[in-house]
Amino acid sequence: MIKLENVSFSYGSNQVIKNVNLLETEPIIIGLWGRNGAGKTTLMKLLSGLENIDAGTISVNGMTPYNNNEAMNTITYMQENHPFSDLWNVEDALRFGALFNKNWDSELAEHLVTLFELPRKKKIKQFSKGMQTMIQIVIGLASKSPITIMDEPTNGLDAYMRKQFKEALLSTLEEDPRLIILSTHHIEEIEALCEKIAIINEHTIVRYQDTEELKMRGVHLSGSREAIEPLIVSERVLEKRTLGKLISVMIDDVFSNDWKLKAKEAGINVEKVPLQDYLISFTTQKEVNNV
Ligand SMILES: Nc1ncnc2c1ncn2[C@@H]1O[C@H](COP(=O)(O)OP(=O)(O)OP(=O)(O)O)[C@@H](O)[C@H]1O
């Protein structure tokens, strides 16, 4: 469904996408995680044909997306702060949604507007942040595009609306499987939905992995320096803090029973690092290797 090979892209002389490779052939939900400025939005623009690549190849449903109406018909990209007309209310947005999306599902659109309790006549530009996100979700899901890309789809949503979004997304995908890409800074908000996660760091995809596998990574050890040092000689240390004779380290490994056993034997504490903390350390780590 999507295939990127050695894709690069620059704004002027600033290369913001570097040698990106990504292949997904199944209609799944992908989380795209990266820190500020990593290149998420640019990558989504390349996938949806809003910008053209400088090098490499990009294929979306077998087509090059840029300047390609046929390809554009199979992709919906709902960007953060989507530029709806200042004059539009929900009903206008739905009318245009129906006009521009050949798979448009008006029943689903109506259902989602009700679910999110959106006022139909109020101008979208007067919506709160969360409500703006909700109308973007409505258009994104009701488009029923084979490939739907949503930028920060939980932005501004309260816990109840996040739950509504998750249920609506899973239920429509169960009916009509399609590839969904959700970008985020906060992995915990979408990790339960995503089958795979792509990590973009310093303008390239550095990991593309099953969420369940990724969630197992990140081991935190704390205790005496003497006991910990020998255990981590050949490990990739992502973070280290020292306090006198005590140290705490995060290492880039799978949180396994083996680690629990080693920690017990050495009399130190071992914990699984939350995924968001692991991703931050993984993408900020600078040669901390080995104490
Ligand atoms: N229109 C533009 N012109 C020039 N540079 C741009 C433009 N848009 C983005 N950039 C630059 O490209 C890089 C990647 O930006 P991008 O918006 O893709 O990152 P992002 O991961 O979406 O960031 P954030 O999470 O902060 O939204 C940044 O260095 C940014 O300054």
Is 191 within a domain?
yes
The reply to whether 55 and 185 lie within a common domain is yes
The pLDDT assigned to 291 comes to 42
User: Number of structural domains, the chain?
Assistant: 2
Angle at the Cα of 289 from the Cα atoms of 285 and 291, rounded to 5 degrees? 125
With 90 as the cut, is the pLDDT of residue 156 above it? yes
Ligand 1 neighbour 100 (Cβ under 6 A): no
Q: Which residues constitute the domain of residue 268?
A: 216-284
Q: Whose CA is nearest to atom 18 of ligand 1?
A: 39
Closest CA to 97 of 155, 48, 136: 136
| Residues 170-217: tens digit of each pLDDT | 999 999 999 999 999 999 999 999 999 999 999 999 999 999 999 999
Ligand 1 neighbour 184 (Cβ under 6 A): no
Closest CA to 251 of 224, 223, 222: 222
| Residues 38-87: tens digit of each pLDDT | 999 999 999 999 999 999 999 999 999 999 989 988 999 998 877 788 88
214 C-alpha vs ligand 1 centroid, how far in Å?
Answer: 26
How much is the mean pLDDT over the chain? 94
Question: At which of 213, 234, 261 does a domain end?
Answer: 213
3-state secondary structure 158-201: CHHHHHHHHHHHHHHHHHCCCEEEEEECCHHHCCCCCCEEEEEE
38 C-alpha vs ligand 1 centroid, how far in Å?
Answer: 7
The three-class DSSP label of residue 126 is helix
In this structure, are strands 29-33 and 246-254 parallel, antiparallel, or unpaired? unpaired
| Residues 95-112: tens digit of each pLDDT | 999 998 989 999 999 999
The pLDDT assigned to 147 comes to 96
Q: Whose CA is nearest to atom 8 of ligand 1?
A: 42
pLDDT band at 286 (very low <50, low <70, confident <90, very high): low
Is 291 within a domain?
no
| Residues 1-29: tens digit of each pLDDT | 899 999 999 999 999 999 999 999 999 99
Burial of 264 by CB count in 10 Å (0-12 exposed, 13-18 middle, 19+ buried)? exposed
16 C-alpha vs ligand 1 centroid, how far in Å?
Answer: 7
Q: Whose CA is nearest to atom 30 of ligand 1?
A: 37
pTM (two decimals): 0.93
23: left (phi over 0), alpha (psi -120 to 50) or beta: beta
The reply to whether 201 and 275 lie within a common domain is no
The reply to whether 77 and 147 lie within a common domain is yes
Q: What CATH number should be reported for the domain holding residue 98?
A: 3.40.50.300
The reply to whether 32 and 120 lie within a common domain is yes
Residue positions counted in the chain: 291
The reply to whether 125 and 199 lie within a common domain is yes
